[in-house]
Chains A and B, each alone.
Chain A
Amino acid sequence: MSQLGQVVGILRKLNDEYQMSTPKKLKLIDAYLVYVLLTGIIQFVYCLLVGTFPFNSFLSGFISTVGSFILAASLRIQLNKANQSTFNVSPERAFADFVFAHVILHLVVMNFIG
């Protein structure tokens, strides 16, 4: 019981810390990440329920969510001021990369969706 209480306490602390220290921009991106994750999970559940036909459509949808998640996550990393030392890229450049990569991702997804 105490273990559970400990875990809950840690989580609450984590949440408070997060709410306070994260800049708004990053929080927006986190919300977007959650959205993409939810979409991916729903697609996966659907596939488990009704089977994999047509497999290519499932794959393209799933890969689209996964790809978007990854690109958004990498954008977040690049925009985080704490990482300024590792990356030497301006936020605008990161955003441009994000858009460019998304165009390619959508091209591939649309090709595969069938």
Chain B
Amino acid sequence: MTSTSLMRIIIFILPIFSWYITSTIASNLNIVNLNGLKAQFQTAIKSFSDVASLHYTLGGVKELGVQLPDSHCNDIKKLVDKSNVESIYHATEAAKTLVNCKLPAEDYRSTLTSVLQSDESKTADIYYAVCSSVNLGLNIDESNIEKRLNTLAKTDDSILSQAYGLLTGAQLSQPIAKYYADTINDLVQQADEIDGRILQYEGGIGTTAFIVNSFYEVAEKAGVSIKTDPKQLIKFATYFSSKRHVATLRSAYYLTKVFKHLCDNKNPVPIVVSRISPSAISPQNPSVLVSITNLLGQPVGEMSVVAESAKRKEDGVVVISKQKLISKASDFSVYELPFYDTKIPRGFYTIHLTLTARNEGKLIGLTDNIIDVKVTSEGTIENAELIVADRDHGAQSKTYKLTYPNAQSDKLELDYHQKLTVKFQIKDKQSDEFMPVQQAFLRFTNKQSKKEIIYLAEATDNGNSQYKVEVDLTTNANDFRYQSDKYELVLILGDSLLQNAYEWILNNNVHLTFHEDSLPDKDYKNLYLPRQEIIHQFREDEKRPPNIVAFVFSTLALLPLLILLILWLKLGFNLSGLPLGLSPLGFHISHGAAFALMFFYWKYLDMFQTIRYLALISIPLFLFGHRVLSTLAARREKKA
């Protein structure tokens, strides 16, 4: 495959691929937690620490439709810092929200002029100065400011600076505002996309809300609409609506402003589609109720809502196709889809909805809405048996047939050479098939200590899902800690697609007897307490026999020496042939010295020293020995 044809294929496939990616991701919009925002502002009203909080709280509360009394005007005048342009900005904005709060413009004129003229000022400072001047009714030189903004745009191209530029443009004349409104799309392209679902700017929720708010403000002043791809707006909206709580007042204020813009009919309005009925469909709850509102939970007018398909998650079986939902509320915010039907099998279903607006409106997010429901069914326990068998002779067994919800009436006695087996099946009432369940347990509860021992029931893999659980009283005895006691036997069944769960007491009086002595329960609390201190034990000396025994045996070992001397004397041992002279003497002395060295080696010396001394002694030993022996040999020769 040549590279050009490969390129062509990629160019064709990639857009289709990305379209599929973006179009099949459903909008995860949630309705805004307005109460949370309100509460946040209301706590802040109680005490103000700085003029910025005043601005955000008063502004936020005003956006939510509550008018605050003019007494806050004094708070503003107290907290404002006349030499700081940002402080002045917050003060004037806060004053704007009140009915009658006039700030002394002359006090701030000098700071504002100096900021506007200084070359050090950043885009934010320019914005604060311009906005404050407009709020206070002071004159500003628009062309000069426009020039300043253009210079700043060349040096500082961060997103925040550009946003401040937009906001400043919104305070100036309409042509300037229009110029900035045209840059909105570029700014949107600079946002970060996460997971293909969310668009955000670096700096978190507050900064993103601030920037998006600036788009709306400048567009409003320019008299144009926000010309961005609706999908991008939805991604922003997803990001905003995903936060249930925000940390700062600034974030809360700008979020409130953004939500109001997103619900304003002049702008594109994202639609929130959510299920308000319970997720389980059953004969008692046969329909799916869907609410269609904007982000603030307000109705959006008449719609035609169609369920394109309802597919089962497991195998993709389609049970509903192109069915129209019925409007249930007078403000067209709730729609109903009858779902329950005996022919629909149990399972998890995904419903795709498509909305069409009746009136011409700027609603977005109308396609690709997904509702998840599950169809549950009633189950029955069938063919339940309790089998008591002997461990070794498996053939000898007693089977008790059980029916839910009856328990066994008489007590059950089991001891260590028996095993207990429980078998059962669960049937789906609707489809008349045996079904597997997610939870199937057999529980023994010790009636005295209330300790629970739970075993898992496992099913065969073939279609009829026969469950079996086996408890052997010898192999499983340690689970019970060998405590022979009265137990209660309960079967627990549950499944997310089963309407009813089961906790069936099979027998209330089971006597278990184990072979070994019972062990106490493991005290799990003790695991985290300090353990017993281990005191180091030095190695104990080996036991030795008493001194008397050793002494006796030592003398006993020397006894044979006596016997030897006696024997030798009897045999006629004599020293008559002993040669006398230097050599014999030397020989005997060096020989004795060698053995004396052995003694010293044992007591005092080490091997190296001994070897050296031995080498020293062996020279005379050898010499004298040789001489003595040759003398003896000569004597012998002479005799013979």
A residues whose Cβ falls under 8 Å from a Cβ of B: 24, 27-28, 31-32, 34-36, 38-39, 42-43, 46, 49-51, 53-54, 90-93, 95-96, 99, 103, 106-107, 110-111, 113
Q: Which residues of chain B from 588 to 640 have a CB within 8 Å of any chain A CB?
A: 591, 594-595, 598, 601-602, 607, 610, 614, 618, 621, 625-626, 629-630, 632-633, 636
Query: Closest CB-CB distance, B555 to chain A, in whole Å?
Result: 10
One of B549, B573, B629 near A95 (C-beta < 8 A)? B629
Residues in A whose Cβ lies below 8 Å from that of B329: none
Report whether A31 and B571 are in contact in the complex, using a CB–CB cutoff of 8 Å. Answer: yes
Is B573's CB under 8 angstroms from A28's CB? yes
13 CB < 8 A contacts A-B = A24-B571, A28-B571, A28-B573, A32-B564, A42-B559, A49-B549, A50-B545, A54-B542, A91-B633, A99-B621, A99-B625, A110-B598, A111-B607
CA distance A27 to B232 in the complex (A): 120
Picked from B550, B553, B568, B629, the residue with its CB within 8 Å of the CB of A31 is B568
Considering the chains assembled together, what is the distance between the CA atoms of A19 and B542 in angstroms?
49
In the complex, A43 Cα to B556 Cα: how many Å? 9
| Chain B nearest Cβ from A50, distance in angstroms | 4
Q: Which residue of A lies closest to B570 (CB)?
A: A31
Contacts of A50 in B (CB 8 A): 544-545, 549-550
B578 within 8 A of A: no
Instruction: Pick the contact of B629: A35, A43, A96, A107 (CB < 8 A).
Output: A96
From the candidates B542, B568, B595, name the one contacting A53 in the complex (CB within 8 A).
B542
Contact check, B553 vs A42: say whether CB atoms are below 8 A apart.
yes
B564 CB contact (under 8 Å) in A31, A42, A95, A113 = A31
B567 within 8 A of A: yes
Q: How far is the CA of A38 from the CA of B556 in the complex (A)?
A: 10
A110 to B559, CA, bound (A): 21
* A53 pairs with B544, CB closer than 8 A: yes
Nearest-CB residue, chain B, relative to A111: B607
B561 within 8 Å of A (CB atoms):
yes
Docked Cα-Cα span, A84 to B591, in Å, equals: 28
Q: With a CB–CB cut-off of 8 A, which chain B residues contact A35?
A: 560-561, 563-564, 567
Contacting pair B607 A46 (CB below 8 A): no
In the bound complex, what is the Cα–Cα distance between A65 and B7 (angstroms)?
Answer: 97
* Bound form: Cα–Cα A43–B591 in Å: 26
- Complex formed: what's the CA distance from A64 to B297 in Å? 106
Q: Nearest-CB distance from A93 to chain B (Å)? A: 8
Cα–Cα distance between A23 and B35 once the two chains are bound (Å): 127
Do B614 and A107 have beta carbons less than 8 Å apart?
Answer: yes
Instruction: Verify if B557 is at the interface (C-beta below 8 Å from A).
Output: yes
Contact between chains at A103 and B614 (CB < 8 Å): yes
Q: Does B572 contact A (CB under 8 A)?
A: yes
Residues of A within 8 A of B553 (CB): 42, 46
The distance from the CB of A71 to the nearest CB of chain B, in whole angstroms, is: 15
Q: What is the CA–CA distance of A39 and B561 in the complex, to the nearest angstrom?
A: 8
Query: How far is B489's CA from A102's CA once the two chains are assembled, in angstroms?
Result: 83
10 closest A-B pairs by CB? A35-B564, A38-B560, A92-B629, A31-B567, A50-B545, A53-B542, A46-B553, A35-B560, A110-B598, A92-B633
A28-B568, A50-B549, A53-B542 known; A113 vs B630 contact (CB < 8 Å): no
Do residues B560 and A39 form an inter-chain contact, with CB atoms below 8 A? yes
Q: Is the interface of B mostly helix, strand, loop or mixed?
A: helix
CB-CB under 8 A from A107, the residues of chain B are: 598, 601, 610, 614
Are A38 and B542 closer than 8 Å at their CB atoms? no
Residues of B within 8 A of A46 (CB): 553, 556-557
A103 in contact with B618 (CB, 8 Å) = yes
CB distance from A2 to the nearest CB of B (A): 33
Q: How far is the CA of A103 from the CA of B590 in the complex (A)?
A: 12
Contact B567 A34 (CB under 8 A): yes
A92 near B560: Cβ-Cβ < 8 Å: no
By a CB distance below 8 angstroms, the chain A residues around B614 are 103, 107
- CB A39 to nearest CB in B, in angstroms, measures 5
Q: When chains A and B are docked, how far (Å) is the Cα of A93 from the Cα of B630?
A: 9
- How far does the Cβ of A21 sit from chain B's closest Cβ, in whole Å? 15
- Tell me how far the C-beta of B602 lies from the nearest C-beta in chain A, rounded to whole angstroms: 5
Known A49-B549, A111-B601; further 6 A-B contacts with Cβ < 8 A: A34-B564, A35-B567, A50-B544, A92-B630, A106-B594, A110-B598
CA A53 to CA B573, docked complex, whole Å: 39
Q: Across the two chains, which residue of chain A brings its CB closest to B630?
A: A92
Are A113 and B602 interface neighbours, CB within 8 A? Answer: yes
In the assembly, what is the distance between CA of A85 and CA of B621, in Å? 30
Contact among A43, A51, A92, A110 with B632 in the assembled complex (CB-CB below 8 Å): A92
Minimum CB–CB distance from A35 to chain B (whole Å) comes to: 4
Determine the distance from Cα of A107 to Cα of B573 in the docked complex, in whole angstroms. 28
User: Are the CB atoms of A90 and B610 closer together than 8 Å?
Assistant: no
Q: Please indicate the chain A residues that have their CB under 8 angstroms from the CB of B550 in the complex.
A: 50
Residue of B nearest to A61 (CB): B557
Closest-CB distance, A8 to chain B (whole angstroms): 23
Contacts of A43 in B (CB 8 A): 557
Q: Which residues of B sit under 8 angstroms from A31, Cβ to Cβ?
A: 564, 567-568, 571
Q: Known contacts A31-B571, A103-B594: does B542 contact A42 (CB below 8 Å)?
A: no
Q: Are the C-beta atoms of B601 and A34 separated by less than 8 Å?
A: no
Q: Which of B563, B630, B636 touches A34 (beta carbons < 8 Å)?
A: B563
User: CB-nearest residue of chain A relative to B560?
Assistant: A38
Give min CB distance, A56 to chain B, whole Å: 13
A113 to B607, CA, bound (A): 13
List, in ascending order, chain A residues with CB within 8 A of B630's CB.
Answer: 92
B560 touches A110 (CB 8 A): no
The CA-CA distance from A50 to B567 in the complex, in Å, is 31
Interchain CA distance A111-B611 in the complex, whole Å:
11
A24 touches B572 (CB 8 A): yes
Given contacts A38-B560, A50-B549, A92-B629, contact A110 B602 (CB under 8 A): yes
Q: How far is the CB of B17 from chain A (nearest CB, A)?
A: 82
Residue numbers in A under 8 Å from B591 (CB-CB)? 99
